[in-house]
C-alpha cells in the first residue's frame, strides 16, 4: 500500500526524498520504497521519519 501520507508530509516540509533520507540516515531509495509501499520500515525508522517531519506515527503510518 502506498504511503501517500508520508509523501504529503515530506512535501509539506519542503523536503526531497534525498533530503529526508540524509536527515534520518538512510538512502533515497529507502524513502522511495516506503512511499511506494515496497518496503515496511522498522518502528525505529518510522520514529526517525516522524521526528524529521514533525508528525506522529498515527499521522503517517496508521491506516484509515
Question: pLDDT by residue (tens digit) across 3-16?
Answer: 999 999 999 999 99
pLDDT of residue 36: 96
pTM equals: 0.91
Backbone angles phi, psi at 61, to 5 degrees: -120, -5
Mean pLDDT of 13-24: 98
Which residue segments constitute the domains of the chain, with CATH numbers given?
A: 4-61 (1.10.260.40)
* Secondary structure (DSSP) of 2-53: --HHHHHHHHHTT--HHHHHHHHTS-HHHHHHHHHTS----HHHHHHHHHHH
Q: What is the mean pLDDT of the chain?
A: 95
**1: pLDDT confidence band, cut at 50, 70 and 90?**
confident
Which residue's C-alpha cell is 534525498?
18
Using alpha carbons only, how large is the chain's radius of gyration in Å? 10
Amino acid at each position: 500500500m502506498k504511503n501517500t501520507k508520508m509523501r504529503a508530509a515530506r512535501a509539506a516540509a519542503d523536503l526531497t526524498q534525498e533530503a529526508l533520507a540524509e536527515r534520518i540516515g538512510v538512502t533515497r531509495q529507502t524513502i522511495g520504497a516506503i512511499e511506494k509501499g515496497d518496503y515496511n520500515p522498522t518502528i525505529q525508522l518510522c520514529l526517525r521519519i516522524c521526528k524529521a517531519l514533525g508528525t506522529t506515527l498515527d499521522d503517517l503510518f496508521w491506516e484509515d
